[in-house]
Amino acid sequence: GNSVTQMEGPVTLSEEAFLTINCTYTATGYPSLFWYVQYPGEGLQLLLKATKADDKGSNKGFEATYRKETTSFHLEKGSVQVSDSAVYFCALPNATGGGNKLTFGTGTQLKVEL
Amino acid sequence: GAVVSQHPSWVICKSGTSVKIECRSLDFQATTMFWYRQFPKQSLMLMATSNEGSKATYEQGVEKDKFLINHASLTLSTLTVTSAHPEDSSFYICSIRGQYNEQFFGPGTRLTVL
């Protein structure tokens, strides 16, 4: 089945630093790819998505490009803020069950300090 | 994206009692909803797929008699934790499926069993 691997955290950055959280995937075909963010005590929010190869998803200053050559979907932000502190999950549809389920990475905790 | 609510946001109950958690899709007719649980500092674990008008599909290792799911309408799914015990204490999150197989999540319900 489809799977994702993302870098382990925690990642600790100073405010205004550049952020990269790596995500690589293994999949049948070219499924949509997603990044979710979870703030403390809350559910997951869809941060951005890319629905086909070479697409770039973007939202709130975050970007990720669907790169089929390297099977990657790395999350980037040029200048992080303290409010970006959260756990970030890379995800893709699971090939079993008709693509209805999502397979999540283990999550990467980001801590942004002043 | 779609808006999903959960009620209650947190609940504390005594061991042996049953607890019902509601998941509502506020602006989208959801034929499929998902129920997850999440332990501290871990990723989400899919418990079951809830299908409107039919029986839920449970993941391997999830007791269907323990975690009763009812998807009575296109906007409401309920999860009932029966005869709850302290090991059932967790963060329960529901979601609905979107157009690109992304999922839109509720804010979660924190269950504490004493």
pLDDT tens by residue, B53-75: 888 999 999 999 999 999 888 89
Stretch (H or E) spanning A112: strand A108-113
Shortest Cα distance from A100 to chain B (angstroms)? 6
Residues of B in contact with A45 (CB under 8 A): 105
Best mutation target, A102, A103, A106, A109, to test chain B (most B CBs within 10 A): A102
Three-class secondary structure of residue A20 per DSSP: strand
The pLDDT, as a whole number, for residue B14 is 96
pLDDT in tens, A41-80: 889 999 999 999 999 999 999 999 999 999 999 999 999 9
- Of A32, A44, A104, nearest to B101 by CB-CB distance is A32
Shortest Cα distance from A17 to chain B (angstroms)? 24
pLDDT exceeds cutoff 80 at B1: no
Q: Which two tokens stand for residue B6?
A: 């959960």
Mean pLDDT calculated for residue range B98-102: 85
Mean of the per-residue pLDDT values for chain B? 93
Backbone angles phi, psi at A96, to 5 degrees: -80, 160
Instruction: Name the pairing type of β-strands B76-81 and B67-73.
Output: antiparallel
Convert A46-83 to b/e letters by CB count within 10 Å (16 or more is b): bbbbbbeeebebeeeebbbbbbeeeebbbbebeebeee
Q: What CA–CA distance (Å, rounded) separates B98 from A103?
A: 15
Q: What residues contact residue B71 under an 8 Å CB cut-off, 6+ apart?
A: B33, B50, B51, B52, B53, B54, B56, B77, B78
Q: How confident is the model at residue B100 (pLDDT cuts 50, 70, 90)?
A: confident
Instruction: Name the pairing type of β-strands B44-51 and B57-58.
Output: antiparallel
pLDDT in tens, A81-100: 999 999 999 999 986 655 57
Within 13 A of B100's CA, how many CA atoms are on the CB side?
15
- Of A43, A51, A104, nearest to B108 by CB-CB distance is A43
